[in-house]
Amino acid sequence: MDKLKAAIEKIMEKDCDMAVISKNENIFYLTGFRPSARAFLILTDEPFLMVTSMDIDEAENSSIDVFEFKKSEDVKEKIGSLSPKAVIFEPSLPIGTFNKLRDSFKFVIEDIIGNLRMIKEKFEIEYIKEALRIAEESFREIEVEGVEAMIAANLEYHMKIKGSMKPAFDTIVASGIRSSNPHAKVSFNKIKTPVVIDWGATWKYYYSDTTRTIVKREVEEEMLDILLDAQREGVKTAKPGVKASYIDKVVRGVISEYGYEDNFIHSTGHGIGLEVHEPPSLSVNEDIKLEKNMIVTIEPGIYIKGKFGMRIEDMVLIKKNPKILNTLPSRI
Amino acid sequence: MDKLKAAIEKIMEKDCDMAVISKNENIFYLTGFRPSARAFLILTDEPFLMVTSMDIDEAENSSIDVFEFKKSEDVKEKIGSLSPKAVIFEPSLPIGTFNKLRDSFKFVIEDIIGNLRMIKEKFEIEYIKEALRIAEESFREIEVEGVEAMIAANLEYHMKIKGSMKPAFDTIVASGIRSSNPHAKVSFNKIKTPVVIDWGATWKYYYSDTTRTIVKREVEEEMLDILLDAQREGVKTAKPGVKASYIDKVVRGVISEYGYEDNFIHSTGHGIGLEVHEPPSLSVNEDIKLEKNMIVTIEPGIYIKGKFGMRIEDMVLIKKNPKILNTLPSRI
């Protein structure tokens, strides 16, 4: 209920008297109810949920009022009956749905919940650590051999039987020349080094996200050293009060020193929790300052087109002495 | 390229001179390039892609021009440089992104590509059948015994090693009282009948979606008979020229005859292809008429709160003699 209160304060700060929360992760965060279909949390003096027939039983287990809707018009009507003056909608709301809900009231497009979600409560940190524990334990069970798809299938299988709800994302196993594509799909190629493995588990809707690269040749070893150096420097700076963009600057700086500036083609990391990628972004334009109990990934990578690439990714808890949550060694 | 032409004709029909395609499935459908991050396909006389640095190499393999963008403003600027008079945006575009792209031009919110995608080309039908073949073959490999999560993990493992890119959705294995929830998450409960298993595979981005229910007690057998009766009647009507809502009416009618009208709490089915749920919807308000080579699911279900529930789901190719694509028996 504290979270609901904090959300309602945010609404007042924006001079609004209602917010329509449509992002499933945010509805879950505020109410404990996880929609399986389109749903809306209407935040006013007396918040309530609007759900379809599919979700009505589940929603009624939450502590706030629930109404069923069949069509968007039902939601629009219900909102209208409260005569709001100014309504906050979320940036993630599809424009088609927005057009069905908008009315004569003023509106503001703002993600008021995403910012609340950045700082993790104690139980959230535990859930994220549990997801990570499952992911790492599963990695320890498998052999990195054979074809890429088999390694991914094994990892996902072990995560599931250890209690992961689902893979946090499509597990990446990209080896040899394919490692130069940071988002490569698994293939049925037999692996050769380097082997980039990027995987995560889900515990009670909270995610983990980790990458390890298995190297063999000296040139690969050397590149991994650069990434570990960059990551180490990044982790050191991941303290409360530091701008998220500064970590990116530090990590990118180390990689640049070695001449690979143009080969680090993605941001340094991202917040993680109920979404795999959530604020803050550790990237050049992110103004958000880190705060205690945020959890972010730090994942420097170097990709050489047509040759190979690699990445190392750990999850870091922001505090005065930044803590790497991973227990798996960086070098496998 | 025929698809691009068809899309551009749709733009002209709406008196517009540009469309901004932002839905990844639609970009893939029109260009063969699958974005791994936010991307835009700008449809004008000379269509082009706008992608981030992550996707630039992949995008350049497609046959149309590619530009890189770093921020939404870059996309807005590029659009502005072409001085469009009226631009189509997709209903799925997040309102936050829309606000960053809109400009002085007029705009229309319309899903012009979704309708094109409903009718499948020959290769698309083959891909969907291949996804279904993988899913069914995987089902044949597993034993339905032990705990729910184990059954789901086994199914997903077999699908992946047979070439499925990923599960089409979180595999549902819901048994005993939990079967009364059509969207139940897997648990670590030992199964008891009925066991509802809803699963699908992905072949080259095309999905399958199937449900089987394993029954034992006579009361369960009888309910399954009702579903099979309803499904049979639905399949018979799934012909070109028939309104999608009519199939829903027929299926719902059979279930109502047996007195379970209020227990069939979802629609009768949905189109399937590059998305698991895509138009047409086989539901009460769907005005779309079926056409040859659409593929839809027909999935009647009965859910008795606090007791049990079940569903049976097959994929049907629309033609004069509607064809069930599944080969797995309805009764396992």
Segment B102-140, tens digit of pLDDT: 999 999 999 999 989 999 999 999 999 999 999 999 999
Radius of gyration for the alpha carbons in chain B, expressed in angstroms and rounded = 22
Query: Is the confidence at residue A16, as pLDDT, over 90?
Result: yes
Instruction: Look at the block and give the residue holding tokens 């932002």.
Output: B22
A92 touches chain B (CB under 8 A): yes
Name residues 50-89 of chain A within 8 A of B (Cβ).
53-55, 57-58, 71, 89
Query: Is the confidence at residue A59, as pLDDT, over 80?
Result: yes
pLDDT digits (tens, 9 = 90+) for B60-78: 988 899 999 999 999 999 9
Query: Is the confidence at residue A2, as pLDDT, over 90?
Result: no
For residue A226, which of A283, A310, A146 has the smallest C-alpha distance? A310
Q: How many Å apart are CA B87 and CA B78, to the nearest integer? A: 13
Q: Do B234 and B300 contact (CB within 8 A), yes or no?
A: yes
For the ranges A57-61, A93-97, A206-210, B129-133, which has the lowest average pLDDT?
A57-61
Q: Do A156 and B154 touch (CB under 8 A)?
A: no
B97 touches chain A (CB under 8 A): yes
Q: How many Å apart are CA A226 and CA A300, to the nearest integer? A: 9
Give the CATH superfamily of A122-324. Answer: Creatinase/methionine aminopeptidase superfamily (3.90.230.10)
Query: Is the confidence at residue B332, as pLDDT, over 90?
Result: no
pLDDT value at position B1?
A: 52
pLDDT value at position A332?
A: 87
Q: How many Å apart are CA A210 and CA A330, to the nearest integer? A: 10
Query: Is the confidence at residue A260, as pLDDT, over 80?
Result: yes
> Residue A329: exposed, middle, or buried by beta-carbon count in 10 A (0-12, 13-18, 19+)?
exposed
pLDDT value at position A284?
A: 94
Q: What is the mean pLDDT of chain A?
A: 96
Q: Do A156 and B156 touch (CB under 8 A)?
A: yes
Nearest to B54 among A58, A156, A265 (CB): A265
pLDDT value at position B64?
A: 92
Q: Do B216 and B194 contact (CB within 8 A), yes or no?
A: yes
B90: which chain A residues are within 8 Å (Cβ-Cβ)? 95-96
> Identical fold at B2-116 and B122-324?
no
Q: How far is CA B276 from CA A173, A286, B130, B208, B240, in A?
A: 25, 35, 15, 7, 21
For residue B205, which of B262, B261, B272 has the smallest C-alpha distance? B272
pLDDT digits (tens, 9 = 90+) for B284-298: 999 999 999 999 999
Q: How many Å apart are CA B208 and CA B168, to the nearest integer? A: 7
Nearest to A93 among B89, B95, B109 (CB): B95
Fold of B2-116: Creatine Amidinohydrolase; Chain A, domain 1 (3.40.350)
Q: Region B172-181: what's the mean pLDDT?
A: 96
A90: which chain B residues are within 8 Å (Cβ-Cβ)? 95-96
pLDDT value at position B299?
A: 98
Q: How many Å apart are CA B123 and CA B94, to the nearest integer? A: 31
Confidence of residue A61 (pLDDT cuts 50, 70, 90): confident
Fold of A2-117: Creatine Amidinohydrolase; Chain A, domain 1 (3.40.350)
What is the ipTM, given to two decimal places? 0.91
pLDDT value at position A183?
A: 86
Phi-psi region of B176 (alpha: psi -120 to 50; beta: other; left: phi over 0): left
Instruction: Look at the block and give the residue holding tokens 């334009």.
Output: A285
Query: Is the confidence at residue B183, as pLDDT, over 90?
Result: no
pLDDT value at position A325?
A: 98
pLDDT value at position B54?
A: 85
Instruction: Look at the block and give the residue holding tokens 């399937």.
Output: B272
pLDDT digits (tens, 9 = 90+) for A142-166: 999 999 999 999 999 999 999 999 9
pLDDT value at position A9?
A: 93
pLDDT value at position A1?
A: 52
Which two three-digit tokens encode residue B331?
């009764």
Question: Which chain A residue has the Cα nearest residue B303?
Answer: A54
B183 touches chain A (CB under 8 A): yes
Q: Do B266 and A53 touch (CB under 8 A)?
A: yes
Query: Is the confidence at residue B59, as pLDDT, over 80?
Result: yes
Instruction: Look at the block and give the residue holding tokens 């588990």.
Output: A201
Kindly report the three-state secondary structure assignment for every residue of chain B: CHHHHHHHHHHHHCCCCEEEECCHHHHHHHHCCCCCCCCEEEECCCCEEEECCCCHHHHCCCCCEEEECCCHHHHHHHHHCCCCCEEEECCCCEHHHHHHHCCCCEEEECCHHHHHHHCCCHHHHHHHHHHHHHHHHHHHHCCCCCEHHHHHHHHHHHHHHCCCCCCCCCCEEEEHHHHHCCCCCCCCCECCCCEEEEECCEECCEECCEEEEECCCHHHHHHHHHHHHHHHHHHHHCCCCCEHHHHHHHHHHHHHHCCCHHHCCCCCEEECCCCCCEEEEECCCCCCECCCCCEEEECCEEEECCCEEEECEEEEECCCCCEECCCCCCCC
Question: Which chain A residue has the Cα nearest residue B151?
Answer: A161
Domain extents in chain A: 2-117, 122-324
Work out the minimum CA distance from A35 to partner chain B, whole angstroms.
10
Q: Do B172 and B197 contact (CB within 8 A), yes or no?
A: yes
Long-range contacts formed by A156-161: CB under 8 A, 24+ apart? A156/A199, A156/B153, A156/B156, A156/B157, A156/B160, A157/B153, A157/B154, A157/B156, A157/B157, A159/A134, A159/A135, A159/A199, A159/A201, A160/B149, A160/B152, A160/B153, A160/B156, A161/B149, A161/B150, A161/B153
Q: Do B28 and B12 contact (CB within 8 A), yes or no?
A: no
Could you tell me where the beta strands, DSSP code E, fall in chain A?
Answer: 18-21, 39-43, 48-51, 65-68, 86-89, 106-109, 172-175, 195-199, 202-203, 206-207, 210-214, 269-271, 278-282, 295-298, 301-304, 308-311, 314-317, 323-324
Query: Is the confidence at residue A36, as pLDDT, over 80?
Result: yes
Nearest to A54 among B152, B188, B265 (CB): B265
pLDDT digits (tens, 9 = 90+) for A180-231: 998 888 899 999 999 999 999 999 999 999 999 999 999 999 999 999 999 9
Q: Region A30-47: what's the mean pLDDT?
A: 95
